[in-house]
Amino acid sequence: MKKITIIAIIALLFTGCTAKKELAMYSNTTVSAGFDTYISIKASAYSKEEFDTYFNSSIENFIYLNKLFDIYHTYDGINNLKSVNDNAGIQPLEVDPILIEMLSLAKEYYDLSNGEFDITLGPVLKIWHEYRTQGLLNMAEGKSGSTPSLEELQEAYKCVGWQYVEIDKTNNTVFLNNACASLDVGGIAKGFSTEYVAEKLEENNIAVGIVDAGGNNRTINSKLDNTPWRVGIQSPTGSADSIIAVTIDGSMSFVTSGDYQRYYLSEDGNTYHHIIDPSTLFPADYYNSVSIITDDSGIADALSTTLFTVDFETGNQIIDEFRKNNPDSTLEVIWIMTPEKKVDTQYIKEKNGYYIAYTSGLENKIIWE
């Protein structure tokens, strides 16, 4: 009897020591990983230590990609996008294949959008960056900024075009064959990087997670309890409150482009934000925001920028073209606009003084209250 009791105790101890750990959700956030924003990662793991390993690796990837896509600074040991721009008209540079992959994706969506999404717009965007930077400094002092002239922008536009970009995928080189050409990947870099990090987490068999890079959200599978993710769309007023929320199932990307960030007030009485319409060379003014839901975060970033700069009819033509070319991919869109810019569609509702239009697939996915 005593022998049986001892065996039972040992068996219980052994079972306790080898009990399988259960997955739990952990999260962390940093503002030191570049892209001028916060990076937040939430993922399942069997311990905090395991999650920390994934988080730290993800942040290292974001930091590296930020350096690679940076157009304002150079870094030791890296031929980044600024290096490419600085060598325009001089020589090709060997770069990380990741940069070539991102540039190739940008070219694909330049073609899809008939030139509306254009990272070769760098010379024009540089002018707007200078005016916006000064405008923000002036606003901090209670003053107004100024506005670039159309003539100044048109002169810079002479240096714009993919005919000035030579990509050699065999030798991993990029060359801008016009000395005044430059690339600006602000409309795709953060989304591309978010997708890259999420895919690395998936390669490490993360069961559930979400990568949030300043509002660029990429989910990994459904939640542990199998409920959908819920992502809010910021109010166009610029407040932290969400005007609506959207439910997302499984692995998906959610990206918003809006006019309520990085804007300044000019002495001409107009407010100028950072999303420039290649057709006018001035900030687009069709909507307050455009949100994209699709599989890949880089594509979502490019499409949110693109659809923000085109009218509703053109936007739907681009959506149709994407769906034709990608029949196995999801693409849903939300447009938010003021009443005077209301579009003609059956899928539209008024909320808090704004009109919110959406693609039909979101009919039962939007949370209005």
Query: How do beta strands 354-358 and 348-351 pair?
Result: antiparallel
The pLDDT value recorded for residue 254 is 97
pTM above 0.75, yes or no: yes
**CA-CA distance, 240 to 260, in Å (whole number)?**
11
Average pLDDT of 228-234? 93
The pLDDT value recorded for residue 12 is 41
pLDDT tens for each residue of 317-327: 999 999 999 99
Higher pLDDT, 282 or 238: 282
pLDDT tens for each residue of 340-367: 999 999 999 999 999 999 999 999 999 9
Residue 2 pLDDT > 70: no
232 burial type by CB count under 10 A (0-12 exposed, 13-18 middle, 19+ buried) = middle
Residue 332 pLDDT > 60: yes
The pLDDT value recorded for residue 55 is 98
% the chain with pLDDT above 70? 95
Question: What is the overall mean pLDDT for the chain?
Answer: 93
pLDDT tens for each residue of 150-165: 999 999 999 999 999 9
pLDDT tens for each residue of 236-270: 987 778 999 999 999 999 999 999 888 999 999 99
The pLDDT value recorded for residue 260 is 85
Average pLDDT of 281-303? 97
Least confident interval from 12-16, 42-46, 81-85: 12-16
Tell me the pLDDT band of 69, cut-offs 50, 70 and 90.
very high
Average pLDDT of 177-190? 97
The pLDDT value recorded for residue 20 is 58
The pLDDT value recorded for residue 40 is 97
